[in-house]
Every structure is written in structure tokens, then in C-alpha cells.
Homo-oligomer: A and B are copies of this chain.
Amino acid sequence: MRTVDTFVDARALGSGCVGLVPTMGYFHEGHISLVEAARRECDTVTVSLFVNPLQFAPTEDLESYPRDLDRDAEMVEVAGTDVLFAPQLSEMYPDEPLTTVSVASVTEGMEGGMRPGHFDGVATVVAKLFAGITPDRAYFGRKDAQQLVTVRRMTTDLSFPTAIIGAPIVREQDGLALSSRNIYLDPAEREAARSISRGILAVADAVLVGERSGEELERIAAEPVNDEPGINLDYATFVDQDTASPLAGLNRPAFLSVAARVGRTRLLDNVHIDRVDGGWVPDVGIRLDEPSILYREA
């Protein structure tokens, strides 16, 4: 694996089909699953690692976001990465950036509503990575479901020749969706956070036994979070996979997304419901059979 810090080097090291995994680092098994998917499908696997200030609001956790380049480099090398692109701020933004890439409509609700400017920051940095690295394929977790919708739409609208791959959520043994931010949780918060995935998994079960009402699925997702002290629900919303706009019922590919606050930590989870062979198949992701690296390290 080569670690580089300029776009010129990152681009020069790509040959054949180039797969990009854009990240903010502090890797866990969710990131590793993206690297492994890229390794299976591409000639060159490039992981970018940049904690992008544009997608944090001034009140958010940019300063405290976990960073450990040596740890991260070792993890992605083992997983089969060819190129780790870890630019400094001065490579990404040599001048004050004046250019913003905005995606309307799909960014209006959910995280877009809670975090003004967040998706402008995401769309801008992803466009920049696509422009500067020219990947053939790019891998994102389904966990950030609205981000995936936003990136897909930006890619189509701007005619980037990059296939966007959404990979399943990876979960702890008890169901909690992996997130670098999980390391912020103390034991009591960690326990309260379980209520999110309980609701998500209950939605998947309800779909499998025939529930089709968006309102009812939202109620099922929200209930365990609302019943749990020490966690506050931001939203439980059922939307279209292509447009991220609310759906009254399951009549096209959809996802149900939940956001909640535990102490000062915001957590997201969702279940995508895909159309497979004429039926509805919930994607609840992958369950680890031991604690994730985030807990083995702690």
C-alpha cells in the first residue's frame, strides 16, 4: 500500500478499474466491508481519508472527531487497499473554497433538515474526490442513507462516470449500527442506544409479515426509542430510496431512517427495503459475531 497526500499522486497510482472508498477515517468493520467490496470488484482500491470541515456545522464535533492515521493505515492495508489518500487541509483547500455543490430536494428532510449545510459539504467534497481521482466505482455505506441518495443524484446530474455502490450496514452483536461516533458513548448511553436498532429490526420484521403503511412502520421504529429513558428521537421517517421524499406506503424501494440523540452524540440507523424478484426484502445489514474493533480497542 502507498500512502499519498496529493491528488496528483493518488490519480497517478490508479490503473485499470479504480474503486474509491471515501472516508473520514477512524475505521471500523463498516469501512472495512467497503474496502473488501472494492477489492473484489476493482483493479486499484483507493481509500481517501479526510475529516472534511465543510460538512460540520460550527456547533458540531469537528475538533473532537476521532483521528488516528497509523491505526487506520494498518487496518485498510490488511483489507487490501492499494492507495491511501490522506491529504492535509492545505492540499484540499489551498485557497478559501468558494465553490459549493448543492443538491436540492433530496436533501430537504431528515439529516438535511437537522444539519443545515451538511449535505452541501458532503456533495462538494465527494465531487472534488471524484474530479481529482476519477474513480470508476465508489463505495458508501447504506448507514448514511440520505447521503447515499445525495451522492447518487450529484453523480448523475454532473455526469461523473462513477458507479455508486451502497453497502449493507454492519452491526454490533446486539444490533447497534457501527459508527466512529459510538466511541463517544458511555456504558449507560451505549445501552440506551440499543433501542434504535431494536426499532429498525422490528420494522424489518413487520415488512416481512406484510406491513405496508409508512405511518405504521414509522410508529414501529419510533416506539422503542420513545420508551427508552436517556435517548431522544429526532425522527423516524419512511422515504423513497431515489428521492428521499416521504412515502405513505411501501410501493417502491424505500428506507426507514431513524436519528436520535444520546447525551451529546447523534446516532443514525435505517433499514433499506429493496425490490427483489417481485417481493420486498428488508436489508438489515450484517451482524458481527464478536464486539467490533471500536470496543476491542477500548
* Contact yes or no, B158 A131, CB < 8 A: yes
Q: Check: A287 CB closer than 8 A to any chain B CB.
A: no
Given contacts A7-B161, A158-B128, A158-B131, contact A106 B101 (CB under 8 A): no
Give Cα distance in the complex from A132 to B131, angstroms.
Answer: 10
In the assembled complex, the CB of A86 is this many whole angstroms from the nearest CB of chain B, namely 15
Return the CB mask of A155-175 against B: 1 if under 8 Å, else 0. 011111100000000000000
A105 near B101 (CB under 8 angstroms)? no
A267 within 8 A of B: no
Q: Report the separation of the CA atoms of residues A94 and B131 in the bound assembly, to the nearest whole angstrom.
A: 21
Known contacts: A127-B127, A131-B130. The answer to whether A157 contacts B99 by CB under 8 A is yes
Are B100 and A102 in contact (CB-based, < 8 A)?
yes
A103 interface hit (Cβ, 8 Å)? yes
A260 to B123, CA, bound (A): 37
User: In the complex, what residue of chain B is closest to A87 when comparing beta carbons?
Assistant: B159
Chain B residues whose CB sits within 8 angstroms of the CB of A158 once the complex forms: 99, 101, 124, 127-128, 131-132
In whole Å, how far is A122's beta carbon from the nearest beta carbon of chain B?
Answer: 12
* A28 at the B interface (CB under 8 A): no
Q: Mark A94-110, 1 if CB is under 8 A from B, else 0.
A: 11011111111110000
A161 touches B11 (CB 8 A): yes
Instruction: Check A95–B132 contact: CB distance below 8 A.
Output: no
Report the Cα distance A106→B99, complex, angstroms. 10
Q: Which residues of B contact A131 (CB under 8 A)?
A: 127, 130-131, 158-161
Interface flag for A18 (CB, 8 Å): no
Minimum Cβ distance to chain B for residue A145 (Å): 17
Please report the C-alpha to C-alpha distance between residue A267 and residue B11 in the assembled complex, in whole angstroms.
41
Are A98 and B161 also in contact (CB < 8 A) when A131-B130, A134-B134 are? no
Interface centre among A95, A127, A132, A134 (most CB of B within 10 A): A127
Residues 1-49 of A at the B interface (beta carbon under 8 Å): 7-8, 11
Nearest Cβ on chain B to A124's Cβ, whole angstroms: 8
Q: Told that A98-B106, A131-B161, A132-B160 touch, could you supply 20 new A-B pairs with CB distance under 8 A?
A: A7-B159, A7-B161, A11-B161, A94-B156, A95-B156, A97-B157, A98-B104, A98-B105, A99-B153, A99-B158, A100-B104, A101-B127, A101-B158, A102-B102, A127-B131, A128-B157, A130-B131, A131-B158, A132-B159, A132-B161
A-B contacts, 29 listed (Cβ < 8 Å):
A7-B159, A7-B161, A8-B161, A11-B161, A95-B156, A97-B157, A98-B105, A98-B106, A99-B102, A99-B153, A99-B154, A99-B157, A99-B158, A100-B102, A100-B104, A101-B127, A127-B127, A127-B131, A128-B158, A128-B159, A130-B131, A131-B158, A131-B160, A131-B161, A132-B158, A132-B159, A132-B160, A132-B161, A134-B161
